[in-house]
Structure 1
Amino acid sequence: MTAGFTGQVVLGVDALDDAPESWPVRGHHDLGRGAIADYVEDEVAAPDDETLRRQYLVHPGAVAVIALDDEDRVALVRQYRHPVRHRLIEPPAGLLDVADEAYLAAAQRELAEEVGVAATDWRVLVDLFTSPGILGETLRIYLARGLAPVDAPDGFVRRGEEAHMDTVWAPLDDLVGAVLGGRLHNPTLVSGTLAAWTAQHRGGFDTLRPADADWASREELLAATGRG
């Protein structure tokens, strides 16, 4: 028997939603501009009228793909990430930095560019804020199946770290074991791998959202920050 906690609040399934909310901004300061993200500080009015200073990165958002073949193997890349001084195993992913490009089209482009793969079956696997305490990045991870080789889009040239990454494959079950064993650390891989394994064993992939499902959390963030 497990003892309960006094005054505990247990949410029902219909209440398990992150709620959009935007506290008033009394001041905004640009602290630095980068190639991908800008570093800013906001003076935020808390509900008790205290002014909080919060520094964070403004980010365009990204998409990623867990591409699963008929033998339950996932297409991956190994890429150097300088801030953490590691070469990480990651799923194909890329920025939402092309004006008016649909989210699914961006994911399809990244899959072709990074691992030379196309897919016939696309589902939304999971949506997340990658590090909401310091980074305003929205990330949508897709599941792609029905894989086939494809050439990279015309004009695509790998630059920077991408010029030195390679394509690898790994069974989904092995990835789950490596994540839980503390051997794999990329948050996109961790989230996507665990979500894919969970979906597979909890009703099957047909229970996932369609590829064109609304991305409300991203749209709400863009609207709240004037970037919509």
Structure 2
Amino acid sequence: MEFTSITAEQLQDRPDPHEVTDAETVYRGAIWDVARETFRMADQDEPLVRDFITHPGAVAVVALDDQDRVLLINQYRHPVRTRMWEIPAGLLDVSGEPALAAAQRELGEEADLVAEHWDTLVDFENSPGSSAEANRIFLARGLSEVPDAERFTREGEEAEIVAGFADLDDAVAAVLSGRLTSPAAALGILAAHVARSRDWSTLRAPDAAWPARPGHAG
């Protein structure tokens, strides 16, 4: 393999849809399905078959208080049999709902908080080799509590959520030491730390373009 220098302008993912010659849904689930698609790579005679999770996309929130402490919620995740420190997050499963509105809803539902200031912090594809899940992480500041009478009643795993604030530097150390492994939390914490070191100049508008958001959201 030959290696070339990559310029700053080239550091951008680009859409490159390959023609799908056959497609079927091999599993239908409560939240997402599993699709099987057949396609060809350029100059290859044999087709490739891939199974992957379809997904409406998701949003997450790094919420910072006036001391630059990050809000973390502790929640049980059954597939990994672990109680994990995470940031508020949720699916884009409401038809037509803007990503920002979904993030604001999740912050209220999972942490009983609203925020005065919102920015786009970072985007990522959760596991692009096996899932179509696209994620956007927002930065929320200027926090205040939702009045008691207006709070969301949490159910299921969310009923046992415990929330608190951690020093951002401590959270970064927890990520780098492997003690905190939720992907959205890890990326969001590191991105917030970098953004703060650059005087928040890396932040994008809360309604910034998001080409990766699945067209079938909701």
Range of TM-score over shorter length: over 0.9
Normalised by the length of structure 1, the TM-score is 0.90
In 2, distance between residues paired with 1:57 and 1:188?
Answer: 18
Superposition pairs for residues 153-168 of structure 1, below 5 Å?
Answer: 156-168=152-164
In 1, distance between residues paired with 2:149 and 2:50?
Answer: 40
Normalised by the length of structure 2, the TM-score is 0.94
Q: 1:106 aligns with which of 102, 106, 115?
A: 102
Residue 8 (structure 1) shift: 2.4
- Provide the identity percentage: 47
The answer to whether 1:134 aligns with 2:130 is yes
In 1, distance between residues paired with 2:2 and 2:201?
Answer: 39
CA deviation digits over 1:17-63, x for unaligned, max 9? 00101111111121111111101111122212321110110011111
- For these two proteins, the number of residue pairs brought into alignment is 216
- For residue 59 of structure 1, give the secondary structure of its aligned residue in structure 2: coil
The one-letter amino acid paired with 2:18 is: W
Superposition pairs for residues 114-153 of structure 1, below 5 Å?
Answer: 114-151=110-147
Unaligned runs of 5+ in 2: none
In 2, distance between residues paired with 1:19 and 1:71?
Answer: 38
The one-letter amino acid paired with 2:26 is: L
In 1, distance between residues paired with 2:149 and 2:205?
Answer: 25
Q: Please say if residues 112 and 152 of structure 1, whose CA atoms lie closer than 8 Å, have aligned partners that are also in contact.
A: no
Alignment partner, residue 168 of structure 2: 172
Indicate how the Cα distance of structure 1 residues 45 and 7 shifts in structure 2: closer, same or farther if over 3 A, else same. closer
The one-letter amino acid paired with 1:95 is: L
Alignment partner, residue 180 of structure 2: 184
The answer to whether 1:71 aligns with 2:67 is yes
Alignment partner, residue 24 of structure 2: 29
- For residue 139 of structure 1, give the secondary structure of its aligned residue in structure 2: strand
The answer to whether 1:216 aligns with 2:211 is yes
* Stretches of 4+ aligned residues off by more than 6 angstroms: none
Alignment partner, residue 59 of structure 1: 55
In 1, distance between residues paired with 2:37 and 2:188?
Answer: 31
Q: Please say if residues 112 and 153 of structure 1, whose CA atoms lie closer than 8 Å, have aligned partners that are also in contact.
A: no
Root mean square deviation, CA, Å: 1.7
Residue 75 (structure 1) shift: 1.1
- For residue 133 of structure 2, give the secondary structure of its aligned residue in structure 1: strand
Indicate how the Cα distance of structure 1 residues 41 and 165 shifts in structure 2: closer, same or farther if over 3 A, else same. same
- For residue 12 of structure 2, give the secondary structure of its aligned residue in structure 1: coil
Residue 104 (structure 1) shift: 0.6
Q: Please say if residues 109 and 151 of structure 2, whose CA atoms lie closer than 8 Å, have aligned partners that are also in contact.
A: no
Residue 66 (structure 1) shift: 0.2
Alignment partner, residue 15 of structure 1: 10
Indicate how the Cα distance of structure 1 residues 174 and 91 shifts in structure 2: closer, same or farther if over 3 A, else same. same
